[in-house]
Amino acid sequence: MINETREVFEKIQWKKLKKQLVYCYKNSPFYQNKMKNYGIEPGDIKSYKDFKLFPFTKREEIYSCQQEYPPFGNLVTIGKEQWHEVHTTTGTAGKPIFVVWSAKDILNFTNFVFRSFSALGITNRDIFYNVFRYGFRMGGLTVHRVAEKFHCFAVPVGVDVLTNTGLEMFININPTVLISFPSEIIRLKDRLGLRKINPKDLALRIAILGGEPGTSVDEIRGLIERPFNLKAYDTYGITEMGPLIGTECLCQKGIHWAEDHYFVEIIDPVTGMPCQPGEMGILVLTDLTKEAMPLIRYWTNDYVALSTERCECGSVFVRTKGAILGGDKDIVSFNGRKFYIFDVQKILWSIEGGVGQEFLVILEGGGTLGQETCILQVERKNDESATEQREFAQKLKEKIEKELKIPVIIEAVPHGTINKYGGLNPKISRIIDRRKPGNILI
């Protein structure tokens, strides 16, 4: 299917979509009610022109539904005897949402992630060092299952990656494949440097990265690849839909979506209508094969653009154009301007000494336009002199004010001060907004 013509593939995909609409109508009280409220039946959806008028499913709806009918709402489409696993969102965008998987769902996830990893040249001779979190989080367990399918040696390190035990294990086992977050592999490089270990002397050859934006940007990818002499590939996953549902290919020219399992749309957040190829909009996903808790037109809140040009790898699946910029929670509205947290990260990492440093944006103030304050806290090495810190802060301030066109105060804080994970929460959170509610100026 991956190498079909786009026309043939879309016909196959459309049959899956129509079948899923019927399945949800018959088995999901949530979608039965939703369709009836909008005067829609599955038979009314005869083309994409019809489907694009189907209402979106928002996070708030799912949360409200699960509060009314705990614990999983009236979204689950199979009986309890078929429930196989439950995962949750981190709750950084509100209260956590619970997602049920069936055995068939898990098999599908494992197979399409295995397919993506195989395309990167991973084999049973590789050693996986899996930094993605286990427990309620979906990433770690999914990658572990994929490693098992490869018959690989898998190290389930999770949150312990940068502890002394985790570091010793990494050095001694000498893995070939690292599954991690972009910022953590850079901090790993720094920890290895403290031990006088050249990362290029290790066996690591592939880094599969997710959980935060950046890998798709050439400048940041280079900061990750060059020290280890490896290849870094970007991924995308979202608990409500599935793990690693998009992965880059060997060409590294955008994340390919698993379109045989998901119907992918990019929607203008203002008009609610589809964007043209290359235009930035909200990623909206529809499950095509999920059995336990399928979602239709799920509004992810993540901003992305798509390329419909056929990739050099030959895959029929569409891919991202540029980086995934994150969602509303990653956009800062300040003094009448907007910027993404990713913009700050990109600038910080572009300055010598700023690569991989943790940071936090703090917004304060009240009153009228121009009276808000933006403070950027940046971790600095504990052995850095006050003069070095001032010089670094000045360079960073000048570059941010020039590129983002906002006034900013730079505060250097000791290494280890900023806890971006909020405890053991693997979801990145880099904004603290202390402004008065009425003072957030869009």
Cα–Cα dist 399/171, whole Å? 37
pLDDT of residue 340: 82
Give the lowest-confidence range in 13-17, 66-70, 201-205, 333-337: 333-337
pTM of the model: 0.86
Averaged pLDDT for residues 404-418 = 86
Domain 330-439, CATH 3.30.70.2740 — does that match? no
pLDDT at position 426 is: 40
Fold of 1-326: Rossmann fold (3.40.50)
Number of neighbouring beta carbons within 10 Å of residue 125: 10
8 A C-beta contact, residue 361 and residue 343? no
- Report whether 167 contacts 191 (CB < 8 A): yes
Residue 225 has which token pair? 């690849």
Using CA atoms, how far apart are residues 379 and 310, in angstroms rounded to an integer?
42
What integer pLDDT is reported at residue 441 of this predicted model? 37
- Taking phi over 0 as left and psi of -120 to 50 as alpha, with beta for the rest, 186 belongs to alpha
Given this model, what pLDDT does residue 92 score?
A: 57
pLDDT of residue 353: 76
Task: Show the 3-state SS of the chain.
Answer: CCCCCHHHHHHHHHHHHHHHHHHHHHHCHHHHHHHHHCCCCHHHCCCHHHHCCCCCECHHHHHHHHHHCCCCCCCCCCCHHHEEEEEECCCCCCCCCEEEEEHHHHHHHHHHHHHHHHHCCCCCCCEEEECCCCCCCCHHHHHHHHHHHHCCEEECCHHHHHCHHHHHHHHHHCCCEEEECHHHHHHHHHHHHHCCCCHHHCCCCEEEECCCCCCCCHHHHHHHHHHHCCEEEEEEEECCCEEEEEEECCCCCCEEECCCCEEEEEECCCCCCECCCCCCEEEEEEECCCCCCCCCCEEEEEEECEECCCCCCCCCCCEECCCCCCCHHHEEEECCEEEEHHHHHHHHHHCCCCCCCCEEEEEEECCCCCCEEEEEEEEECCCCCHHHHHHHHHHHHHHHHHHCCCCCEEEEEECCCCCCCCCCCCCCCCEEECCCHHHCCC
Residue of 88 and 342 predicted with greater confidence: 88
Output Rg (C-alpha) for the chain, integer angstroms.
Answer: 22
**195 versus 428: which is more confidently predicted?**
195
pLDDT at 292: 97
Is the per-residue pLDDT at 3 higher than 50? yes
Q: Residue 423: pLDDT above 70?
A: no
Task: Note the pLDDT tens digit of each residue in 162-212.
Answer: 788 889 999 999 999 999 988 889 889 888 988 999 999 999 999 999 988
pLDDT of the residue at 417: 77
pLDDT band at 359 (very low <50, low <70, confident <90, very high): confident
pLDDT at 333: 82
As a whole number, the mean pLDDT across the chain is 88
Domain boundaries, the chain: 1-326, 330-439
Render pLDDT for 92-150 as a digit per residue (tens, 0 to 9): 555 889 999 999 999 999 999 999 999 999 999 999 999 998 888 889 999 999 999 99
- Hey, which of 32-41, 159-168, 336-345 has the most confident mean pLDDT? 32-41
378, 391 contact by CB (below 8 A): no
- The region of weakest confidence among 116-120, 159-163, 347-351, 353-357 is 353-357
CB environment 402-415: b (16+ within 10 A), e (fewer): eebebebebebeee
Q: What integer pLDDT is reported at residue 439 of this predicted model?
A: 43
Q: How confident is the model at residue 134, as a pLDDT?
A: 86
**Mean pLDDT across 333-351:** 83
**Residue with token string 């290494």:** 415
CA-based end-to-end distance of the chain: 45
- Residue-wise pLDDT tens digits, 47-97: 998 999 899 999 999 999 999 999 999 999 999 999 999 999 876 555 889
pLDDT for the residue numbered 352: 78
**Identical topology for domains 1-326 and 330-439:** no
- For residue 99, the cross-strand partners are 87
CA dist 432 and 321 (Å) reads 30
413 pLDDT band, cuts 50/70/90, is confident
Q: What tokens does 118 get?
A: 């195989």
